[in-house]
Amino acid sequence: MTGKTTNRISRLRRTAAAAAVACGAGVSLIAAAPAPQAAATTTVYVWGTDVNMRSCASFDCPPYSGIKVSRMNVTAYCQSTGDTVKDGPYENNYWVAVDAGGPRGWISAVYVRGGGNYEPIPGVSQNFEDCF
């Protein structure tokens, strides 16, 4: 090889090495970016039977058709106040956004184990942003 060819190959190798380093640095910056933090969820027990799920914490939203929650653990995302629900000695205006294996919806806290009358369910977020 001539000196000119050798210099050209060396320059190409240096350029390729620099490009690889630059790409590697870019990849590491992307990999180092924090992932969006998922809202904390809590498993709660629904003690009631045939509990309606709704798209909001109000009787203004009709129950989901054909979806009832009964005596099972569900994933709770958050809770918020809404319409008051009374069932026997229990009454509460807190509602809990849950996933019971179907669409996410709202159920009255009256039917969730662990809370008291007009009290939130312990351990379930009261941050409305966690609902979605």
Q: Give the Cβ contact number of residue 85 at 10 Å.
A: 20
pLDDT of 28 strictly over 90: no
Residue 26, pLDDT > 80, answer no
Tell me how long the chain is.
132
pLDDT at 19 over 60: no
What pLDDT is attached to residue 2?
53
Q: Answer for the pair 115, 122: CB distance below 8 angstroms, yes or no.
A: yes
Give the separation between CA 47 and CA 73, rounded to whole angstroms. 9
pLDDT tens, residue by residue, 90-106: 999 999 999 999 999 99
pLDDT confidence bin for 3, thresholds 50/70/90:
low
Rg, C-alpha atoms of the chain: 28
DSSP letters spanning 58-105: STTSPEEEEEEE-SEEEEEEEEEEEEEEEETTEEEEEEEEEESSSS-E
25 pLDDT exceeds 60?
A: no
Q: Where are the domains of the chain?
A: 1-33, 42-131
| Domain 42-131, classified CATH 2.30.30, yes or no | yes
- pLDDT confidence bin for 12, thresholds 50/70/90: very low
Q: What is the pLDDT of residue 20?
A: 44
> Which residues are bridge partners to 45 per DSSP?
73
Query: Region 74-82: what's the mean pLDDT?
Result: 96
Report whether pLDDT(23) > 50: no
What DSSP designation does 114 have? Answer: T
